[in-house]
């Protein structure tokens, strides 16, 4: 079967990584056909490092040469993701999109519709869910090893950022340019893992703080509560102004507690009998279930991270393998972020799915306020 020819749109930090991965032949069945880069210095770098690969100065030129590639890998500032994705769909090209899928549920739904109408595939680069530790946690949840889930708490304040970062680009850390901060940017991978493990919440109540640690207009701290009609209650805490930070996900079910440390270790406090069963039988006033703590070893099974996402996308196009991270997953991640913003702005609990139009209007007002203030 013919190999998939990929054109990478964007040659920044992650774009460079994807270009090198493809050029190294790390993805079976996918080759690097072209790179779109607006910067002349970057264009010259591509020509020198990757001779024979097409170089496009802009997306218009790239899609003008649409016969040269089969799929577009979009790694641009995220406010441009939907626009470029729509152009790819209109050109009949498959789309592999870096996070987030877009800035609002309204526009992401437009992209999903465009891809469906064009009959092209849309995948997301949600590499964090490809981590073997999260894969094992998902297996344990689905097998019922934790019993009925009651509570999940994720503390993720590992995103320390200085003013140098916030000032590194004119669009960064602004409502008008980036359309948000910590929620729509750094936290997207973990929010994706959250909904992948537990499903979409039914309601959200959030406190989102803007400019708490740096002189920026967007969010750099958040405390988000997720409510599920099945009884699960979740708390997600993140910050880009605290150091040193922790990355810890704890899950309590009727059969014990699962703790994932630094996305690399799984600790399981397993109850000998479930709390439900123990409570129904126990006659002691302060009786406690017996439990045993152990670390779960998770062996590597094939490709992980970015390589696994790209390989799966390639195998999907060549052999029909189901996508591991779909455009619908991208929509869910954006919806969680939009819902948390909306809850914080309205100072009340918000139901999912959110009101797309209301969020888009409030987001535009945030950007307008920023522009009026000369930010």
- Residues 48-58 as b/e (b if ≥16 CB within 10 A, e otherwise) read eebeebbbbee
In tens digits, the chain (375 residues) has pLDDT values of 799 999 999 999 899 999 999 999 999 999 999 999 999 999 999 999 999 999 999 999 999 999 999 999 999 998 999 999 999 999 999 999 999 999 999 999 999 999 999 999 999 999 999 999 999 999 999 999 999 999 999 999 999 999 999 999 888 999 999 999 999 999 999 999 999 999 999 999 999 999 999 999 999 999 999 999 999 999 999 999 999 999 999 999 999 999 999 999 999 999 999 999 988 988 888 989 899 999 998 887 766 899 999 999 999 999 999 999 999 999 999 999 999 999 999 999 999 999 999 999 999 999 999 998 877
C-alpha distances (whole Å) from 170 to each of 15, 185, 363 are 19, 16, 18
Distance of CA 201 to the CA centre of its chain: 16
Distance of CA 229 to the CA centre of its chain: 24
What tokens does 209 get? 């703080």
188-198 helix and 327-346 helix, angle to the nearest 10 degrees: 110
List the domains of the chain with CATH numbers.
4-128+304-324 (3.40.50.720), 130-301+333-372 (3.30.360.10)
Taking the CA of residue 330 as centre, how many other CA atoms within 13 Å lie in the half-sphere pointing to its CB?
A: 31
CB under 8 Å to 113, separation ≥6 — which residues? none
> Residue 171's pLDDT is what?
86
Rounded-to-integer distance, Cα 151 and Cα 143, Å = 17
360: number of Cβ within 10 Å: 16
The residue ranges of DSSP E strands in the chain, in sequence order, are 4-9, 30-36, 54-56, 71-74, 94-98, 122-125, 149-156, 203-210, 219-227, 233-239, 247-253, 256-261, 265-271, 291-296, 350-351
> Residue 278's pLDDT is what?
86
Rounded-to-integer distance, Cα 63 and Cα 48, Å = 23
* Cβ atoms of residues 129 and 193 within 8 Å: yes
C-alpha distances (whole Å) from 35 to each of 8, 10, 76, 115 are 5, 7, 12, 22
């Amino acid at each position: 079967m013919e190999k998939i020819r990929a054109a990478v749109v964007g040659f920044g930090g992650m774009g460079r990584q994807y270009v090198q991965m493809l050029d190294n032949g790390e993805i079976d069945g996918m080759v690097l056909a072209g790179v779109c880069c607006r910067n002349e210095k970057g264009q010259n770098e591509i020509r020198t490092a990757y001779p024979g690969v097409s170089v496009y100065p802009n997306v218009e030129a790239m899609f003008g040469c649409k016969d040269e590639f089969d799929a577009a890998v979009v790694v641009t500032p995220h406010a441009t993701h939907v626009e470029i994705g729509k152009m790819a769909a209109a050109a009949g090209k498959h789309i592999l999109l870096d996070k987030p899928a877009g800035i609002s549920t309204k526009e992401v739904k437009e992209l999903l519709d465009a891809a469906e109408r064009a009959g092209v595939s849309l995948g997301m680069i949600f590499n964090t869910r490809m981590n073997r530790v999260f894969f094992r946690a998902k297996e344990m949840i689905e097998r019922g090893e934790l019993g009925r889930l009651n509570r999940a708490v994720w503390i993720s304040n590992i995103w320390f950022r200085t003013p140098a970062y916030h000032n590194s680009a004119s669009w960064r850390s602004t409502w008008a340019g980036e359309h948000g901060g910590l929620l729509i940017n750094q936290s997207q991978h973990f929010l994706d893992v959250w909904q992948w493990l537990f499903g979409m919440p039914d309601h959200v109540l959030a406190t989102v703080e803007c400019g708490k640690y740096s002189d920026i207009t967007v969010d750099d701290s958040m405390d988000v509560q997720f409510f599920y009609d099945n009884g699960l209650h979740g708390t997600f805490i993140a910050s880009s102004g605290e150091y040193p930070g922790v990355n810890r996900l704890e899950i309590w079910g009727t059969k014990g507690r699962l703790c994932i440390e630094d996305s690399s270790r799984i600790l399981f406090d397993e109850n000998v009998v479930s709390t439900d069963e123990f409570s129904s039988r126990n006659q002691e006033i302060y009786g406690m279930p017996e439990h045993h703590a152990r670390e779960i070893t998770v062996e590597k099974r094939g490709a992980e991270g970015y390589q696994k996402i790209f390989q799966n996308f390639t195998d999907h196009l060549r052999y029909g393998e189901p996508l591991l991270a779909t455009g619908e997953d991208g929509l869910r991640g954006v919806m969680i972020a939009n819902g948390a913003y909306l809850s914080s702005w309205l100072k009340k609990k918000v139901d999912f799915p959110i009101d797309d139009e209301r969020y888009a209007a409030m987001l535009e007002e945030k950007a307008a306020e920023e522009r009026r203030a000369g930010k």
